[in-house]
Every structure is written in C-alpha cells, then in structure tokens.
Amino acid sequence: MEVTLVILKPSAVQRGIMGEIISRFERKGIQIVGMKMVKLTDETLEEHYSHLIGKPFFGRIKDSMQASPVVVMALKGIDVINAVRKLSGVTNGREAQSGTIRGDYSMSVQENIVHASDSQETAEAELGRFFSENEIFNYSQHLLPYLYAGDEL
Ligand code: IDP
Ligand code: MG
C-alpha cells in the first residue's frame, strides 16, 4: 500500500473545517496513519514549494501557509496518492469539480484548503520532511475486508 502526505492549510484551519475535511478521507476508507499540528518555517516552505520559488506570488504563498499552524497527515491506502489528488480536485478552487474538496470549499487558487503529494517520489520526500519514522503508525484497519476485495490487497 502507498502512503501520501496531506496538509490542511491555514484556509482549512481558520475556517474551522478541519474536521469536515478529515471526515472526507475517513469515509472514503483511507487510513490515517499519522497526524499532527505544526507551524511551517520559511526553510520548510522553501523546500516544500521549491518548484514555485521565483514566481511573483511565492512570498504570498509563504505568508498564507504561515498564517496559522497547519495539520500534516499521513494517509494510507491502495493507490492513495492518486486517489487523494482526485479527492482534492485541481489547484484552482473555482475550476475544481463539485464533490472534490477544493471544488466544494474553495473559490481561490492560493487559498485552496489542502496540499496533497502528486507522485510516489514527492510523497516519500514530503512524508520525510514532515514526519519522523516513529510518527507514522503501522496498525491494522479492521474493516479492511469491507474496503477492498481480497485480490486488490
Ligand atoms: P497543487 O497544490 O495543486 O499541487 P502547485 O502548482 O504545486 O499546485 O502549487 C502549490 C500551491 O501554490 C497551490 O496549491 C496554491 O496554494 C499555490 N499556487 C499555485 N499557483 C498559484 C498562483 O498562480 N497564484 C497563487 N498561488 C498559487
Ligand atoms: Mg503541487
């Protein structure tokens, strides 16, 4: 199974919808294997959003991500990286499909509620950036036979 990183951004924390967003992952059948609240530093954000350094809006993204603590989550499931990107919706909340997190909760490109890793390599690097090994838990999901068929596991 894969593990992916999700960040509940200040737009989720400040609007008081953390629980609603977490519920969406839970009801999908995705297992939460790590979760904590952290304040993001300049250094972490420069690493995390290194592909955006140099863009005119980079300073604004940094301020936005530091407007409050965020919640970092490690989520586990079959093909979970892709599944969570699909649940999140496209970057621009105004363009994101209804039914997705960004489509249902965001009207903005920047204030778009969640971050989700976009590939196996980034998931691995991002989990390592925000979690130490003992903060990601290996525990059995008792409903597993009702979440997946035997040949999917
Ligand atoms: P993603 O979050 O959908 O993977 P990325 O292109 O990796 O999108 O951008 C990371 C984050 O940077 C976005 O989620 C959004 O918050 C912010 N961002 C991206 N492009 C813009 C922009 O053009 N204006 C303002 N913020 C942006
Ligand atoms: Mg991205």
- Does the beta carbon of 108 sit less than 6 angstroms from any atom of ligand 1? no
Every domain of the chain and the residues it spans? 2-152
Just list the catalytic residues.
115
- Does the beta carbon of 117 sit less than 6 angstroms from any atom of ligand 1? no
User: What predicted TM-score, i.e. pTM, was given to this entire model?
Assistant: 0.97
Q: Distance of alpha carbon 87 from its chain centroid, rounded? A: 10
For 49-88, what is each residue's pLDDT tens digit?
999 999 999 999 999 999 999 999 999 999 999 999 999 9
DSSP assignment string, 57-91 = THHHHHHHHTSS-EEEEEEEETTHHHHHHHHH--S
Domain 2-152 classified CATH 3.30.70.141? yes
Cα–Cα distance between 86 and 4 in angstroms, integer? 13
pLDDT tens for the chain, 153 residues: list them. Answer: 999 999 999 999 999 999 999 999 999 999 999 999 999 999 999 999 999 999 999 999 999 999 999 999 999 999 999 999 999 999 999 999 999 999 999 999 999 999 999 999 999 999 999 999 999 999 999 999 999 999 999
The residue contributing the CA closest to ligand 1 atom 8 is 91
DSSP assignment string, 1-58 = -EEEEEEE-HHHHHTT-HHHHHHHHHHHTPEEEEEEEEPPPHHHHHHHTGGGTTSTTH
- Does the beta carbon of 112 sit less than 6 angstroms from any atom of ligand 1? yes
